[in-house]
Amino acid sequence: MRNHKRVLFLERNLRNEKLGVMYLAGALKQRGHHANLIQTDKEDIHARIREYRPDFVAFSITTGEHVYALQMARDIKQRYGTPNIFGGPHCTFFPEIGFDTDVDFVVQGQGERAIIDIVEGRVAAGFHKSEMAVHLDDLPNPDRDIFYQYEQFRDNPMKNVITSRACPYKCSYCFNHSQLALSRIDNETKRWFDRRDVSTVTAEINRLRDKYGVEKVLFLDDSFIQSTSWLDAFLTGYTRDVRLPWLCSLRVNCLDEPLARRMFESGLEMVNYAIESADPDVQQRLLHRGHISNGDVIQAIKLFDQYGVRARMQNMIGLPLSNPLEDALNTLQFNMRHRVTDAWCSIFQAYPRTALGQYCLDHNYISADQLRHCSESFFDESRLDIDNRRELYALQKLWYFAIDSNLPLDLIQILIRGAFTAETGDLLQQLRFRCSRKKLYGIDDADAQLSINLQSRERWKTLGVQDAANPADAAPLVRAALADTTVPDRFIEILAGVDLDDGTTKKLRSYVNGERAFAEPIYTINDNTGELINTDESIYIRGTMDPDAQDIRLMSEAHFMRGMAEVRIDLNGNTGSCATGSSSQNANAPAKQELVTVGLLNGDGETPNARKRTNGCKSEAPDERHLNQFLA
């Protein structure tokens, strides 16, 4: 009998290297055991099992992945009799998975020590509660070879590093509230928030540079700014010992200009911001994310932008709202307005034992059975009983391209009405990853998928106009509508293959002919405060304001896009009508004035911007005639 055991980790649909599995493999190898990995969707699993002859197969799973993992464990046990080990977030929050007769070992909590006890035979099969918090400096180095046997991970110039596994927040859609509760039960809360010593972090990165040629570092911490004293030591050590470009997520309400400058000087290249929804009411009431405001995010983007640090936005659509598509489009426009470099978008999944999952159940957005059997991926579908699920699916697939190429909202609203199949979604998802790899990592895959052929596009525009009267084929119209954009040709060809119904084709034909297909969108994001008012009665002014200006120039989005006439309002509220946006010019106004956009006023005729800086600027509440007059 071999003293050293073989553990085979089974994964599928891998897009990124998983540090959790690397740490488990590192713990096993430190004890002299063997660990390997197989991608079950890309390799012959049975050939690998016969070749490797594992003593255990292991699954590190999130909720949704557990259904496939259970089936795979059942099949392997029936064929080979190989025992299995289940761990990962799903097993921590749903340890009853161990009641399944095909499951041998279940680990709740951190798995590095527990997996050693299992493979070395110190514990019997069944449920094992491990510590909820470990200090990462006490663990062996993650074994990266287990992933870097695959070219897709080995050749990626950006590698993942983590300095803490803690998140201090309790967002309603996440399990972190349960993680914190379990830590309190075990008196491990303080240890849960420990950070690695800076010297071990920089040493790990330098090893990565020496062995794998890493060119930039992605820190996977949920919030990189948790302790300003730790961050100060990190910036000093990283600047001195590493100086590679790096990326992170951070708590933006802890940021100021001196800190932003220091982070840039140390090599910070991109920051990930998570707004999920651009509506502050949704953020606070529904998502429990009141710790960060739109204004905080906007200020952080501006602070970093002056140093050339790029922004990546994390969004979530398909929320349990009366009009989830409107919320999604508002959030899309927030991203576009602030010209983020990269945008990540998921479709909300209601997970059991989360606050928002329970909310969906209580308010009849989802059945108890659907809540128990949630989707494997948060990219592929919504299981909520909400309007516009088909359009939300399509919007998620178009999200990155819409922001990257600044597609007109009118065109987006037409395209998402198409019949997006699962195959179409997969093709767009694959293309989106290729585009991100090129933009973020400098990898272009040496293929034509990302190319733009200007001669073809000129022909597409001509053919689109010629075929505009042909109701049978929408493909030429799709090509013509996208010909002047910067999306890859491959994106256009994928969209040209999407079926459009007659009504959508008619709108697209109108768009190609230069006509408006939809009423001008009103989106209520205030660049100065980050406010967003999302009610049918609200139209207000949106934009940045010079705090020293007595006058401000206002322009509707329709006028702004077309370079048409502007209107004025006196910030002192002494003259003019807020409802129509007219006023006399203040002769003493300073020369510097910034453009903002005009939308509906709120119910009592005030604008949120003006209300913050004046004593009212009241007028009669606007009606539809005011809006139509303004947007004509």
Q: Give pLDDT tens digits for 280-302.
A: 999 999 999 877 889 899 999 99
Residue 625, pLDDT above cutoff 60: no
* Neighbour-count burial for 441-480, b at 16+ CB within 10 Å, e otherwise: eebeeeeebbeeeeeebeebbebbeebbeeeeebbbbbbb
- Location of each CATH 3.20.20.70 domain in the chain: 157-387
Q: Residue range 245-265: average pLDDT?
A: 91
pLDDT at 533 over 60: no
**pLDDT at residue 408, rounded to an integer:** 94
Q: Does residue 372 carry a pLDDT above 90?
A: no
Contact (CB, 8 A) for 76 and 56: no
- What pLDDT band is residue 227 in, cutting at 50, 70 and 90? confident
Which amino acid makes up residue 250?
Answer: L
Query: Nearest to residue 480, comparing CAs of 506, 509, 449?
Result: 509
Give the mean pLDDT of 225-234.
90
**Do residues 344 and 315 make contact, with C-beta atoms less than 8 angstroms apart?**
yes
- Alpha-helical runs (H) found in 42-168: 45-52, 66-80, 89-93, 112-119, 145-148, 151-154
Q: Which of 255, 185, 262 is nearest to 224 (CA)?
A: 255
Q: Where in the chain is the domain with CATH 3.40.50.280?
A: 6-138
pLDDT of residue 616: 28
**Residues 6 or more apart whose Cβ sits within 8 Å of residue 379:** 346, 347, 396, 429
* Region of poorest pLDDT, from 128-137, 249-258, 447-456, 618-627: 618-627
Inter-residue contact 248 to 224 (CB < 8 Å): yes
In this predicted model, which residue has the larger pLDDT, 366 or 538? 366
Q: Is the pLDDT of residue 28 over 70?
A: yes
pLDDT, residue 87, reads 93
- Which of 135-149, 255-269, 347-361, 523-537 is predicted with the least confidence, judged by mean pLDDT? 523-537
* Residue 365 CB burial class (10 angstroms; 0-12, 13-18, ≥19): buried
Pairing mode of beta strands 158-161, 216-219? parallel
Measuring CA to CA, which residue among 89, 122, 83 is closest to residue 107? 89
Length of the chain: 632
Nearest-angstrom CA–CA distance, 481 and 119: 59
Distance CA 222, CA 60 (A): 19
pLDDT of residue 259: 93
CA 427 from centre of chain = 19
∠ CA(193), CA(196), CA(202), 5° rounding?
Answer: 150
Residue burial 288-305, b: 16+ Cβ < 10 Å; e: rest = bbebbbbbbbbbbbebbe
> In the predicted model, what is the mean pLDDT of residues 512-529?
59
Question: 345 pairs with which residues across the strands?
Answer: 315
pLDDT of residue 173: 87
Is the dihedral angle over the CA atoms 279, 284, 289, 295 positive or is it negative? positive
Which of 512, 53, 436, 447 lies closest to 218, judged by CA?
436
Q: Read off the pLDDT of residues 536-571 as tens digits, 9 standing for 90 and up.
A: 333 333 333 333 333 333 333 322 322 322 333 333
Q: Do 400 and 342 meet the contact criterion of CB atoms below 8 Å apart?
A: yes
Hey, what are 482's tokens?
A: 């996208």
| Fold annotation for 6-138 | Rossmann fold (3.40.50)
* DSSP assigned state of 109: S
> Is the model more confident about 423 or about 434?
423
Once rounded to an integer, what is the mean pLDDT over residues 495-513?
92
- End-to-end, the C-alpha distance of the chain in Å comes to 83
Question: CA nearest 316: which of 277, 365, 371?
Answer: 277
Residues 133 and 197: their CA atoms lie apart, in Å, by: 16
What is the structure's pLDDT at 549? 34
Backbone torsions φ then ψ of 185, nearest 5 degrees: -60, -40
Residue-level pLDDT at 393: 96
Tokens of 362: 């209580």
What is the model's pLDDT at position 392? Answer: 97
pLDDT at 369 over 50: yes
Q: In what order do the strands lie in the sheet with 246-249?
A: 158-161, 216-219, 246-249, 268-276, 310-317, 342-347
In 220-309, DSSP assigns E strands to 246-249, 268-276
The residue-averaged pLDDT of 91-98 equals 86
Lowest mean pLDDT segment, chosen from 53-57, 73-77, 261-265, 511-515? 511-515
How far apart CA 499 and CA 496 sit, in angstroms, is: 8
Q: Which fold has domain 157-387?
A: TIM Barrel (3.20.20)
User: Cα(567)–Cα(583) distance, rounded to whole angstroms?
Assistant: 8
CA distance 368 to 374: 10
Mean pLDDT over 80-89 rounds to: 94
pLDDT band at 131 (very low <50, low <70, confident <90, very high): confident
Token output for 511? 């768009």
How much is the pLDDT for 22? 97
**In 192-341, beta strands by DSSP E:** 216-219, 246-249, 268-276, 310-317
**pTM > 0.85: yes or no:** no
d(CA 483, CA 460): 7
Residues 6 or more apart whose Cβ sits within 8 Å of residue 631: 519, 520, 556, 558
- Ranked by mean pLDDT, the top range of 267-281, 282-296, 364-378, 585-599 is 267-281
- What percent of the chain has a predicted confidence (pLDDT) above 90? 53
595 confidence band (pLDDT: 50, 70, 90): very low
Q: Give the side-chain half-sphere CA count within 13 A for 268.
A: 27
Lowest mean pLDDT among 183-197, 256-270, 283-297, 502-516: 183-197
pLDDT at residue 448 tops 70: no
φ/ψ of residue 111, rounded to 5: -105, -5
More reliable by pLDDT, 324 or 174: 324
Q: What is the pLDDT of residue 255?
A: 87
Average pLDDT, the chain: 79
Q: Considering only CA atoms, which of 301, 352, 210 is closest in space to residue 293?
A: 301
Query: Confidence band (pLDDT; 50, 70, 90) for 576?
Result: very low
The owner of tokens 């809540």 is 371
Mean pLDDT of 292-313: 92
Q: d(Cα 437, Cα 444) in Å, to the nearest integer?
A: 7
Quick check: 398 pLDDT over 70? Answer: yes
User: What's the pLDDT at 614?
Assistant: 26
Continuous segment of H or E residues that includes residue 270: strand 268-276
Shortest CA distance to 400 belongs to which of 460, 355, 346?
346
Q: How confident is the model at residue 254 (pLDDT cuts 50, 70, 90)?
A: confident
Q: Quote the pLDDT of residue 186.
A: 57
Q: How far apart are CA 199 and CA 86, in angstroms?
A: 33
Give the number of other CB atoms < 10 A from CB of residue 184. Answer: 12
Provide the pLDDT confidence category of residue 477 given band limits of 50, 70 and 90: very high
Q: What is the 3-state secondary structure (H, E, C) of 372-385?
A: HCCCCCCCCCCCCC
What pLDDT sits at residue 468? 52
Range among 192-201, 264-273, 453-462 rated most confident = 264-273
**pLDDT > 80? residue 367:** yes
